[in-house]
Amino acid sequence: MREVVAGAVIGDGRLLLAQRTYPTDVAGLWELPGGKVEAGETREQALRRELGEELGIEVRVGRQLGDPVPLRADLVLVALAADLIKGSPRPEEHSAVRWVETPELESMAARGELVPADAAWLDDLIELLAVR
Ligand code: CDP
């Protein structure tokens, strides 16, 4: 079983979303950025590496957010809360990034603009934003 780790990154009280460019079924939709955990890495290490590579940011990784979401029989997606500690996100592999507050996140979810797996965490994300 492989894991994909996604970061619910909070900066200045807002949540970071990144717009996917591939595959075609999710291209244009917004996700919590992250990627696959490599052999020998912890989830935290993988998330810090992916966010550095994809966005050039440093984060402090916190607790697991919500429940894991099965992607395929051999792949599961796990979200971790994280705080931005350094840098300003520059999309290297995404088409754009944006910082959102709860109302915007809710509108995006209602319009189906989040990748389907991440939409399962909507309530957890709203709760995370409420305490920041
Ligand atoms: O770049 P890498 O192959 O490590 O990972 P990825 O392509 O970003 O993500 C692997 C899989 O997880 C893809 O099928 C993504 O669609 C999915 N994913 C997701 O559903 N939600 C996220 N927040 C991140 C990845």
How many C-beta atoms lie closer than 10 Å to residue 27's C-beta?
A: 11
Give the pLDDT confidence of 1-55 residue by residue, as tens digits. Answer: 899 999 999 999 999 999 999 999 999 999 999 999 999 999 999 999 999 999 9
Residue 105 CB less than 6 A away from ligand 1: no
Give the pLDDT confidence of 73-123 residue by residue, as tens digits. Answer: 999 999 999 999 999 999 999 999 999 999 999 999 999 999 999 999 999
| Whether the complex's predicted ipTM surpasses the cut of 0.90 | yes
Q: CB within 8 A of 49, min separation 6: which ones?
A: 41
Q: CB within 8 A of 72, min separation 6: which ones?
A: none
Identify the bridge partners of residue 61 per DSSP, sorted by sequence position: 82
Model pLDDT, residue 110: 98
pTM, full prediction: 0.96
- Amino acid of residue 128: L
Residue 117 CB less than 6 A away from ligand 1: yes
- Is a pLDDT exceeding 90 seen at residue 132? no
Q: Among 5, 43, 69, 77, which is best to mutate for testing ligand 1, by the most ligand atoms less than 8 A from CB?
A: 77
Q: Among 2, 3, 4, which is best to mutate for testing ligand 1, by the most ligand atoms less than 8 A from CB?
A: 4
Quick one: which of 128, 94, 105 has its CA closest to 26?
94
